[in-house]
Amino acid sequence: MSTTAPSPAPALRAEGVRIGYDGRTVIDGLDLELPAGKITAIVGPNACGKSTLLKGMARLHPLDAGRVLLGGRDVAELPRRELARLLGVLPQSSIAPDGVRVAELVARGRYPHQGWFGRRSSTDDAVVARALEATGVADLADRPVAELSGGQRQRVWIAMVLAQETDVVLLDEPTTFLDVAHQVDLLDLLADLNAERGTTVVMVLHELNLAARYADHLVVMRAGQVVAEGEPSAVLTEDSVRAAFGLESRVVPDPVSGTPLVVPVGRARQRSGRATI
């Protein structure tokens, strides 16, 4: 672990953002500032606009109005290569080129750091090796990506984002396809990246309790709007869970981390009168 203090990461900010698909507005007039050098988790029910917001902030989907600022600069005005040196993105669905092998795909994360002729240096090779090792896929380096399981492919894509070595990383449901052990391993890895390099991590998660455990800043969305944001202990309450998800729950301290732990009540328990937490 480096003993030098991490350098400040750029803050990401959305101002008056409106985004839609085929004439249907999903997000309208949204303002949001994501703290620099912190881990932010965005949670909310299906189709509430979480992934759409992330795509808009990453310049993967055009904005109908508003702007997104990265370190005070409009991402729409940044050259593509410069943006790729500042902002790493893992979309929800990623497709690898036919026949590409694991190490080759991860090495593509070095593209923004290479010269115009795309020659890989010993530094690039070392970064790729560390990313493969950190995500637990070093033993798969020579395997075709198409032959891997869904969980293995997800870890390879994350390795590519890590190899990019950006100050800000956006991940859309990074724990998809991963079993619970690999989910925890991945989130531990992102926490280490944040602690050691000061990387700003922004991720869309469905797992509320993991979001509360790992995030410094929690954003709760519903119907294209932010309904609550702040520290998980202040934001994740029985009222906010009910407002965002329409779910009755009990929120208690996580026995491991002390962070909020959401325990769904469920209709069967409500009918039986056995919800005692």
Q: What is the pLDDT of residues 208-232, one digit of tens each?
A: 999 999 999 999 999 999 999 999 9
Percentage helix, strand, coil for the chain under 3-state DSSP, each rounded to 5: 40, 25, 35
What span, in angstroms and rounded, lies between the C-alpha atoms of 21 and 31? 19
pLDDT < 70: residue spans in the chain: 1-10, 115-118, 268-277
Q: What is the pLDDT of residues 131-161, one digit of tens each?
A: 999 899 999 999 999 999 888 998 999 999 9
Q: What percent of the chain has pLDDT over 70?
A: 91
pLDDT score recorded for residue 9? 45
Nearest CA-CA partner of 215 in 233, 196, 227? 233
What span, in angstroms and rounded, lies between the C-alpha atoms of 228 and 208? 14
pLDDT score recorded for residue 269? 60
pLDDT score recorded for residue 123? 87
Nearest CA-CA partner of 27 in 61, 59, 44, 52? 52
pLDDT score recorded for residue 7? 44
pLDDT score recorded for residue 96? 84
Nearest CA-CA partner of 168 in 256, 41, 83, 229? 83
Nearby residues of 272 by Cβ (< 8 Å), 6 or more positions away: none
pLDDT score recorded for residue 115? 62
Helices then strands (H, E): number in the chain? 10, 12
